[in-house]
A and B are shown apart, each in its own frame.
Chain A
């Protein structure tokens, strides 16, 4: 019998939670926020399970929810500390301060997403496009733009 969306998504959550947490952490860089993001995304994914159009996309669909949650949390936090200098988000205990890292930190969120998903999570460009909710060409040009910036940022130092 064909499984329903809800069970598929539930299985994905239990199978890939490390990945979802990593992606969230890659944005928010602290444990408490990353946990909030993952928890809220799990709720939304199950609550709106029927909205998933193709079960084969369940994983990237959840990634997309994670990214959206993480980005809106970042925006909210940034708003809360409005007036402070625009520093990159806090340092996690695992992330050492290296030039490439800070260069990635300074990328706009939508460019950072494609870099993280493509190079750190080793997704294909198609998967990245699904997770970002964009078409393939947009994702490609974003990635090239991001890589260009990273190279420039690196040469400056």
Chain B
């Protein structure tokens, strides 16, 4: 057989390959899944950002009290307001056979009384309580609006105390929105108890310090490692995607554990496809120790 014949035969063989029947279906499913994921992201971008501006403004008012020197000095003060407890202040439920909602609205109250009446009226706890209320109300409002437009909706909102030490308190709100498939999102409220201050990520660092670059680099490193080990998939280093993960947001979701270790949290679809869920990255202290505020440990 001469080379031309070989080429022709190869070409014929190449073109004889036919996609199996299920292939078309799988393509259509992938298209639907992508469309749904996109819609969900658009819908939830608003949810994700709701109220964050207001919280940032509130935190700013308090910040003058939380500069490094004062934070140090406060380390020796007794804890303000004793221990906390989180109670459900209100429940919103809805079930009409098509749409269901179950929203627990939490409130942080003093441990000793445990009553909502004794919740502080000012300070970081009051701020968080107010923000939680506004946020959950917004979720409910949106649920009621979407329910009329689209039907077959599910909303589930729950809360969890992540960290509770004399120094630090983290409350996590988890939302699950179900429409054909689910979308999970989170919001972490962090309170520096000694400074009585609601802490966004940037508040852990001195003003003007660049924490975004080293933390983002660490997360990209961990993402690559996980992808290499094939334990997860992220929107990263993909030449087809110009929106691959580059840096965390200034006010990225985070929490500190009881030992003061920093964890950076992402929502579903924020940095990877839906099936990886809501990833959380532990940031080793070496990454931030040179820029972290002394008082935050």
Contacts and interface: CB of A to CB of B under 8 A. Distances in A.
B239 A133 contact: yes
B239 A39 contact: no
Interface of A is mostly: helix
Nearest to A98: B6
Instruction: Give the interface centre of A39, A40, A44 by most chain B CB atoms within 10 Å.
Output: A39
A14 B20 CA distance: 14
Contact of A120 (B6, B15, B22, B24): B15
A120 B11 contact: yes
A43 interface: yes
Given A10-B31, A39-B26, A39-B30, A68 B13 contact: no
Nearest to A150: B3
A22 B6 contact: no
Instruction: Give the interface centre of B7, B9, B31, B240 by most chain A CB atoms within 10 Å.
Output: B240
A109 interface: no
Contacts of B10: 98, 100-101, 104, 120
Contact of A68 (B6, B19, B230, B240): B240
Contacts of A92: 17
Interface residues of B, number: 37
Given A21-B17, A35-B20, A100-B3, A68 B239 contact: yes
A35 B11 contact: no
B97 to A, nearest CB: 33
Given A25-B17, A48-B241, A119-B11, A17 B6 contact: no
A98 B1 CA distance: 10
Contacts of B240: 44, 48, 51, 64-65, 68
Interface in B169-208: none
Given A6-B35, A13-B31, A100 B239 contact: no
15 contacts: A10-B31, A22-B15, A26-B14, A38-B19, A38-B27, A39-B30, A40-B30, A42-B34, A43-B31, A44-B34, A44-B241, A47-B34, A51-B243, A65-B240, A101-B13
